[in-house]
Amino acid sequence: MARLVAVFAICLLSASIASATFVSNPFLVKGKAYCDTCRCGFETPATKYLAGAKVRIECRHRVTEAPTYTFEGVTNSKGEYNILVKSDHGDDICDVVLVKSSDPTCAKPNAGRDRSRVILTRNNGMISDIRFANAMGFLRDEPLSSCTQILQQYHLTDDQF
């Protein structure tokens, strides 16, 4: 009986330590939001990074699709955001999504560049608690006049968009 109590106590202590470590090591999700000033679908030298844009992490259960977690963040003066996530989402599919642009002339989310998948679990072999999301972009209402020259650098023309 004493052995059973000792084993139970060790298991309980291990779970407590793991839980305390887990809460003290949140994930940090980092990324950028930008204005696609040339409306070309990717970042260029004319890209403007947006200060004050709103982004959100949305997690949903892998099987049931039920929402499990939502948290919003705002970009800094360099268009970068840092969002702390304090729990493991091993059974969830999580995306960072664009919510709102801070620039009214660049407010339409660019389909295909309006979300970024992030893995928020420690059971995947990654050592770091930092997760990097792909940059996400809003489309400018009208492309800048300098975009024609910029797109020529990529050997692209207006009729390819």
Q: What is the tens place of the pLDDT at every residue in 7-35? A: 444 544 444 444 444 445 799 999 999 99
pLDDT at residue 111, rounded to an integer:
95
How many Cα atoms occupy the beta-carbon half-sphere of 11 within 13 Å?
Answer: 6
pLDDT at residue 32, rounded to an integer:
98
Q: How far apart are CA 47 and CA 33, in angstroms?
A: 10
- Decide which of 124 and 87 is more confident: 87
Other Cβ atoms within 10 Å of 98 Cβ, number: 22
pLDDT at residue 21, rounded to an integer:
40
Give the model confidence (pLDDT) of 130-149 as tens digits. Answer: 999 999 999 999 999 999 99
Q: How far apart are CA 149 and CA 157, in angstroms?
A: 9
pLDDT at residue 154, rounded to an integer:
82
Q: How far apart are CA 82 and CA 33, in angstroms?
A: 11
Is the pLDDT at 54 greater than 60? The verdict is yes
Least confidently predicted of 106-115, 128-137, 144-153: 144-153
- pTM of the predicted protein model: 0.78
Q: How far apart are CA 108 and CA 96, in angstroms?
A: 16
Mean pLDDT, all residues of the chain: 86
Give the model confidence (pLDDT) of 57-71 as tens digits. Answer: 999 999 999 999 999
